[in-house]
Amino acid sequence: MDIASLRAQHPDHWKKACAIRVLTLDAVAAANSGHSGMPMGMADVATVLFEKHLSFDPTAPKWPNRDRFILSAGHGSMLIYSLLHLTGYAQASLDQLKNFRQWGARTAGHPEYGHLDGVETTTGPLGQGISNAVGFAMAEESLRARYGAKVMDHYTYVIAGDGCLMEGVSQEAIGIAGKHQLSRLIVLWDDNGITIDGKVELSDVTDQKARFAASGWDVFECDGHDPVAIDEAITAAKKSPRPAMIACKTHIALGSSAQDTSKGHGALTDKQLIADTRAAYGWDHGPFEIPADVKAAWEAIGARGQATRREWESRLATLPAGKQAEFNRLFTGEASPKLGAAIRSVKKAAAEAPKKMATRSASEVVLAAVNPVAPETIGGSADLTGSNNTKTADLGVFDPLNRKGRYVYWGIREHGMAAAMNGMALHGGVRPYSGTFMCFTDYARPSMRLSALMQVPVVYVMTHDSIGLGEDGPTHQPVEHLAISRATPNTWVFRPADLVEVAEAWELALSTQTTPSVLALSRQNVTPVRTKHTNQNLSAKGAYVLAEATGKRQVILIATGSEVEIAMQAREMLEAEGIGTRVVSMPCMELFAAQDEAYRKKVLPAGPARIAIEAGVRQGWDRWLLGERGREAKADFVGMASFGASAPADRLYKEFGITAEATVAKAKALL
């Protein structure tokens, strides 16, 4: 439908949609930066969605049963900022739009979760929004099964562009959604045929509609500028028993001289182009000026949701008091009140009857105690269930026949798994954890970074954490991955030494509301090092003195995970020669760094030689070896400086010099 027809046949709709378009033009021009074309092209689709379908309440942006709207094509952020402003979200003031992309503004270059009410997830890295949306829809299904449709019953809508669909993670995501028949998930594809470089055909020939259909979706299409056709398509999609994709044929940068060109994708800041476009729209108002009748019409759309939300609150109030309390706890993100007791019980049993086991197996022991008392947990694995040890007997399998199941078979989709877990956590009401091999954090990395950026407490169970996995060889043996994870801000990287430290790591990971955790766990058995029970969570301080020197302290050995055992062996050998040796277990560098200097100084005092022992690269260790009162002449590292090799674990540790004997030799050389 062309502009003349739209203006003539749907004048009220046209004005509302044009409010989005001109606010986009004005904000991008003011910033001299941004992406104009997508909001201009998808304004009609967004207007119909918000006016006729989306259930939301700007006065209660976080009420649990709202529909979720995700702008996967996050470069078009002025679309969502305009919508939030027009419908009455208090944080999306006109001043915020005028300060688009400026320091301190909530209106960041790409939508950021936590910066602005109404932004459900951080998007911009293409493919992440549509992939997060799968997790949103899974969380909704899970909670609806548990609490009933009168409490949990809503849709997740996504606007995605060609960039989102070209990114590989999108295929992982739509495959998961199709398998699980997520009928409350609706993707509106901005089919404008343009990318930054030019026409889509420059780089892609994919039949997207056939691709979605082949992945288990129902596919619809419409003229993305015809409000009647858009409404009909969304109505049909909502009735679909499977996830739905609507191909919305649109014109990027509609009405401008850059329409249907790659120039239209970016910032349209030319004054004459903007003036001509406003004239084509029939819009004769000044910059950032929305006529009172148009703003009132949008605010009426926003106000409509209050009644719906209040009706929902009344329904929630009919639940038994205990069920209500549990529901509210889940959505505040508070840990289960039974978590602490479950962890202490595991620790006490482990100390009383210590036995060698891999820390991945220890994690399974902890989960067996935690999952029954924390109904919010949803676990999974990327086709490595038997290796990651993430499934416990009580969970049941989440699938179309059992929405109450709490274990997800993600398939070989590490990136899609991580993105969906972010969506689950952002939806609220569930706490996701899932596993793969530590080496394949590479495949999940963009989503792990967004977990940290968004401050969502997703738990990544990364097993086979070193050359200790053995015969699979260097393709599967992580050496740099601990350093990569530790380099990411707002991420806790736990490398626990035994069952007790594993339990403490899980307690911390399931108690925080703002930090994702990476649990790096061994394939090989380790000897318990914590054999004296204490209720205190020693891992909460990041590092602590595990064994003290018996005489004058000359050496401090600092180790993590499976290498703490090696440190203890080296200590015994050094002490036998009269060399006083302290062993510090450092399960989480980030938490140790967060302690006050007095505590850090107590654990790592000046004077003794220091050696760190970890079957990974040295990067990240120098703060504890050379800083914090250490010095280069009295510091060394026992670990990896290369990739691994294919051989049994014991042979590898000897060949790469990660042994008690090598540690002792380096300690003596420093004295």
- Report how far residue 263's alpha carbon sits from residue 194's, in angstroms, rounded to the nearest whole number: 9
Encode 437-484 in three state secondary structure.
Answer: EHHHHHHHHHHHHHHHHHCCCCEEEEECCCHHHCCCCCCCCCCCHHHH
Confirm if 351 and 535 have CB atoms less than 8 A apart. Answer: no
Going by the DSSP 8-state scheme, the letter that residue 632 receives in this structure is G
Q: Is 636 marked as binding a ligand?
A: no
Q: Is 511 marked as binding a ligand?
A: no
Helix (H) or strand (E) holding 460: strand 459-463
Q: Is 265 marked as binding a ligand?
A: yes
Of 57, 114, 66, nearest in space to 89 by CA: 57
- Report how far residue 631's alpha carbon sits from residue 599's, in angstroms, rounded to the nearest whole number: 19
Confirm if 177 and 408 have CB atoms less than 8 A apart. Answer: no
Tokens encoding 630: 């250490």
Q: Is 124 marked as binding a ligand?
A: yes
Confirm if 132 and 417 have CB atoms less than 8 A apart. Answer: no
Q: Is 39 marked as binding a ligand?
A: no
Q: What are phi and psi of 521, to 5 degrees?
A: -125, 145
Confirm if 149 and 106 have CB atoms less than 8 A apart. Answer: no
Q: What are phi and psi of 392, to 5 degrees?
A: -115, 160
Q: Is 110 marked as binding a ligand?
A: no
Encode 123-175 in three state secondary structure.
Answer: CCCCCHHHHHHHHHHHHHHHHHHHHCCCCCCCCEEEEECHHHHHCHHHHHHHH
Q: Is 126 marked as binding a ligand?
A: yes
Helix (H) or strand (E) holding 231: helix 227-239
- Report how far residue 197's alpha carbon sits from residue 98's, in angstroms, rounded to the nearest whole number: 29
Q: Is 440 marked as binding a ligand?
A: yes
Choosing from 364, 414, 563, 565, the catalytic residue is 414
Q: Is 523 marked as binding a ligand?
A: yes
Q: Is 75 marked as binding a ligand?
A: yes
Q: Is 472 marked as binding a ligand?
A: yes
Q: How far apart are the first and last CA of the chain?
A: 82
CA 304 to the chain's CA centroid: 32
Q: Is 522 marked as binding a ligand?
A: no
Helix (H) or strand (E) holding 287: none
Q: Is 360 marked as binding a ligand?
A: yes
Any catalytic annotation for residue 414? Answer: yes
Residue 248's DSSP bridge partners are: 190, 222
Going by the DSSP 8-state scheme, the letter that residue 397 receives in this structure is B
- Binding site feature residues: 35, 75, 124-126, 162-163, 192, 194, 265, 360, 387, 440, 464, 472, 476, 523
**Which positions are annotated as active-site residues?**
414
- Binding site feature residues for Mg(2+): 162, 192, 194
- Binding site feature residues for thiamine diphosphate: 75, 124-126, 163, 192, 265, 440
- Binding site feature residues for substrate: 35, 265, 360, 387, 464, 472, 476, 523
